[in-house]
Amino acid sequence: MSASVFSRASKEEGHVHVSKYLSLQVPPTLGSPIPLLHTISLFSGPISILVIRARALAEGGRGRRDAFFKLLVGSEGLPPTLNFYKWPSDKVRDLVVGPITEELCFRAVVVPYLLSAGLPPLKCVFVAPLLFGFAHVHHAINRLREGHPFAITVVNTIFQFCYTYLFGAYATYALLKTNDVMSVIACHSFCNFMGLPMLPSPNDREVYVHRGWVYASYFFGLSVFTFGFVIYGSAAKPAGALGDLTFD
């Protein structure tokens, strides 16, 4: 069953049914896990670091399962309960409210109207995330109010704009190809949970001694992520999906 998000949008020459461009797949289609699995592959490096830390904890007397639980659930990970009312506010924002509201706004609303206005899908991939990136620029005001130096604030804001823009471009592409905003929300939540991928630091001896494995995991993840776009191109698409349009 597919429930349309929008019924129609105005164009100069008439009306275009936006439902042609976007629908929520309920229940999720078989293609829905593809964006999340594709995103997880990109984090092979950070996941390898989690494995290294879990092994260290296990060698320190904890079972491996308990070690993973300690790393994934706690102050820096998932809250230890499914009751949202008991979650810290930042976890609710980053893992639930933020991904849902931002994907519904910047993908489910913006993308169909850009397409209905005549913007080609490929251009939409690069135009739509501009709004998503600029929506995060306001954090600069908070940093300045907290007393951060102006130059550092500018650099941090530009950096944040760049990585939010890149994620927005990927999320737009995934939506165009799968026609399923729910799977894009899952990707967003996963990325917020993992944070930005970081390379091993010499100051972190526990991980740095295994840097060869970590670098190999990063290379493997990037390779799989790149190859994943081939899967996107060959995967069957829902009827009337955005991905049915020619990228020109």
Tokens for 245? 């349009």
**Which residues, at least 6 apart from 166, have a Cβ–Cβ distance to it below 8 Å?**
129
What CA–CA distance (Å, rounded) separates 243 from 236?
9
Two tokens, residue 24: 């929520």
d(CA 38, CA 5): 25
- Give the burial class of 30: count Cβ atoms within 10 A of its Cβ; 0-12 exposed, 13-18 middle, 19 or more buried: exposed
Query: Which ranges of the chain does DSSP label H, i.e. alpha helix?
Result: 33-42, 44-59, 64-72, 89-92, 98-103, 110-116, 121-134, 139-145, 150-178, 181-194, 205-208, 211-234
106: nearest Cα among 77, 74, 133: 133
Residue 15 phi/psi, 5° resolution? -120, 140
Active site residues: 102, 136
Bridge partners, residue 9, by sequence: 16
Collapsed DSSP state (helix, strand, coil) of residue 14: strand
Residues 42, 28, 108: CA angle, nearest 5 degrees: 75
Exposure on the CB side of residue 175, measured as CA atoms within 13 A: 33
Is residue 2 helix, strand or coil?
strand
